Chain A
Amino acid sequence: MSIASLALKSFRNRKFATGLAIISITLSVTLLMGVEILRDQAKASFTNTVSGIDLIVGARSSPTHLLLYSVFGIGNPTRNIDWSSYKEISQHPQVNWSIPISMGDSHAGFRVLGTDNNYFKYYRYARDRRLSLRLGDWFEHADEVVLGAEAAVKLGYRLGDEVIVAHGAGNESFITHDDKPFHVVGILDKTGTPVDRTVLVSLGGFDGMHDDWVSAEGDQAHDPLLGKHIDENHALDRNISAFMLGLKSRAAAIGMQRSINQFDHEPLSAILPGVALLELWEIVSLVENTLFVISVFVVIVGLFSMLIILMASMNERRREMAILRSVGARPVHVFSLIISEAVFITLAGILLGGALVSAIMLFGQNWIAQQLGLFVTLNWFTSNQLVILSLVALLGFLIGLIPGIRIYRYSLIDGMTVRV
């Protein structure tokens, strides 16, 4: 029976109190790591999604707004842009490729994106990775859809299945286009970007479902809401929500951005996605930092609960220490008995917290994706996160020194007197 097994037995003797300390540290570490992982992954996922795009163009609005609705499906465009504007800009000599996108519809909670073949050909994520089909082909006709990997799994669709599209994002849309079924012709591979949660149709299909719907609906006057919607969306021949551009040289992006911002035909905004992301981070950094500071304080509170429990057991231990001293234990044994308990509690809390946060990320992936639009993947902790965890361990050790030094001094002062 070494000091270690003595510590273990002492620990088991106080398992209720130490268990509580471990739980409080576990929960606080879970919170801290959760905040850290979410913010890291949010940044990584956002950056990956736009990494292949040089410019995003939409109706005049703030860069972050345009970025959020065009790529991440968060929010809606204030106004659409003319097809003719798209045509004109995409034929600019500097433009290598262009991808038009139309949005505003959903299917069973998944965003419907109208686009063309360029999307499949040119869209790049995670620097230079291109979309690939797990099953089937890219759409060719107006009544064909391609599903993102997750949408396909969630909806349980297979190739050839019929899909019915509803108007407006979200599950509880007012209007369903029951009369215009689409057929699934392809399913994409997983990308870890919002593409996974997207239902892709051709621009023709996207427009068509509205056109058909208008002509089929004879008594739209019954529902003023429907009528209003049509007026807004179909005042012009064809319009799209935004488009993405790939340039021949990334260096041309700033000049190109300036000329698009001064476009004559209608007011447009062009954004550099990387720059817009930085702006976005700046906006959320206050919230982000606040969350981090709060979670750091929660960890400190968790560690102090351990201190309280160790200090509360001090009188009882003082007696044990006198006994141990009398049989030949050194003051340093007595000291290490307390320290090892503090270290054990802290490490157990850190390990359990790490496991809990990983479990939450693993099993909460879908929920987080649905609620936050954030694609978290279960990774090993980053070096930054490991540093934070080490600091928590160090702090636990330092806090353990308080009762440790106290009992050490007692063991010198008390001699062999058993204080009652």
Chain B
Amino acid sequence: MQASTSAIITFEKLRFGWPRQQGFLLDIEHFQVVPGERVFFRGPSGSGKSSLLSLIAGVLVPQSGSISILGNSLSEMNSATRDRFRADHFGIIFQQFNLIPYLSVEENVTLPCQFSALRTRRATTRSGDIKQEALRLLNHLDMADADTIQKPVNELSVGQQQRVAVARALIGSPEILIADEPTSSMDADRRQAFIDLLFRECHESKSTLLFVSHDNSLQGSFDRGVELDELNRTVIDNSSRLKEVF
């Protein structure tokens, strides 16, 4: 493992639990991700995968411990700064319903630029303006034909919608891409094609990829697989306690 100074994401003694619920959902002693790494998080539903991603993206705040992203400590930022930080440095792809139904394909792709001057600047440097950059990304993802791009987003197939979401996550080249079970609504052969595409794009934009799924079959091509239950001491404690009971 590399030195902590070069890590893009560092957790130290992180503890997180929902208010009004007993105990912690997540309790992570130490965890690091290096730039350009492709990490696969695995765990059953309810194991805190989505909460972990929300913590990394700065939408949720831990009760104790620190999260440091790109050398910045999230816990030292106020919520407005965290929101801006997220807009600048993260591209996020959800499981489904990724798109705002009343915006066009292009408007959905350029949405992060509305909240980030940095990403607007990067997109403009690359293609001249954000629309051109959106078209370039869509073209890369085989989504740029006139027919597809004109369609209302809710008339696109699930696979097409997810590709638009990838273009949105990639616009303005954020350093970190988070994908929260993005393939769960696709059939098996499309799933691998989608992941290949994601890898290609991440490689090109030199982004770090955090990918969450409960589907182990996808893990093969990633640099590293992380079993959330092994990382999370809460679960270990609970299971050891269970063993004592029986």
Contacts and interface: CB of A to CB of B under 8 A. Distances in A.
Given A1-B114, A415-B51, A417-B54, A323 B98 contact: yes
B99 A323 contact: yes
Nearest to A8: B102
B112 A327 contact: yes
B30 interface: no
B229 to A, nearest CB: 20
A115 B83 CA distance: 83
Interface string B25-66: 000000000000000000000000011011001011000000
Contact of B180 (A9, A327, A328, A416): A416
B92 A326 contact: yes
Contact of A1 (B87, B99, B107, B180): B107
Residue among A6, A10, A323, A416 having the largest count of chain B Cβ atoms under 10 Å: A416
Contact of B94 (A1, A13, A416): A416
A329 interface: yes
A9 B79 contact: no
Nearest to A419: B97
Nearest to A323: B100
A327 to B, nearest CB: 4
B50 A415 contact: yes
A415 B99 contact: no
A322 B111 CA distance: 13
A335 to B, nearest CB: 13
Interface string A1-26: 11000100110110000000000000
B115 interface: yes
Interface residues on B, range: 35 or more
Given A327-B87, A330-B83, A416 B57 contact: yes
A328 B59 contact: no
Contacts of A10: 102
Interface string A320-339: 10111111111100000000
A319 interface: yes
A415 B57 CA distance: 9
A325 B59 contact: yes
B80 interface: yes
Secondary structure of the A contact surface, majority rule: helix
Residue among B83, B84, B95, B180 having the largest count of chain A Cβ atoms under 10 Å: B83
A235 interface: no
A418 interface: yes
A327 B54 contact: no
Interface string A30-49: 00000000000000000000
A327 B60 CA distance: 15
B163 interface: no
Given A329-B115, A415-B50, A416-B54, A322 B87 contact: no
A420 interface: yes
A12 to B, nearest CB: 7
B75 interface: no
Contact of A328 (B53, B60, B86, B96): B86
B212 to A, nearest CB: 11
A200 B83 CA distance: 79
Contacts of A13: 101-102
Nearest to B152: A13
B116 interface: yes
Nearest to B98: A323
A394 B241 CA distance: 57
A13 B114 CA distance: 20
Nearest to B115: A328
A327 B96 contact: no
B103 interface: yes
B15 interface: no
Contact of A326 (B57, B60, B84, B95): B57
Contact of A420 (B90, B97, B98, B99): B97
A-B pairs with the 8 shortest C-beta distances?
A: A328-B87, A13-B102, A328-B115, A415-B54, A326-B92, A327-B112, A415-B59, A330-B83
Interface of A: 1-2, 6, 9-10, 12-13, 319-320, 322-331, 415-418, 420
28 contacts: A1-B111, A9-B102, A9-B107, A12-B102, A13-B101, A13-B102, A319-B97, A322-B94, A323-B98, A325-B83, A326-B59, A326-B92, A327-B87, A327-B111, A327-B112, A327-B115, A328-B86, A328-B87, A328-B116, A330-B80, A415-B50, A415-B60, A416-B57, A416-B59, A416-B180, A417-B54, A418-B96, A418-B97
Given A326-B86, A326-B94, A327-B112, 6 more contacts: A319-B97, A328-B112, A331-B79, A416-B50, A416-B57, A417-B54
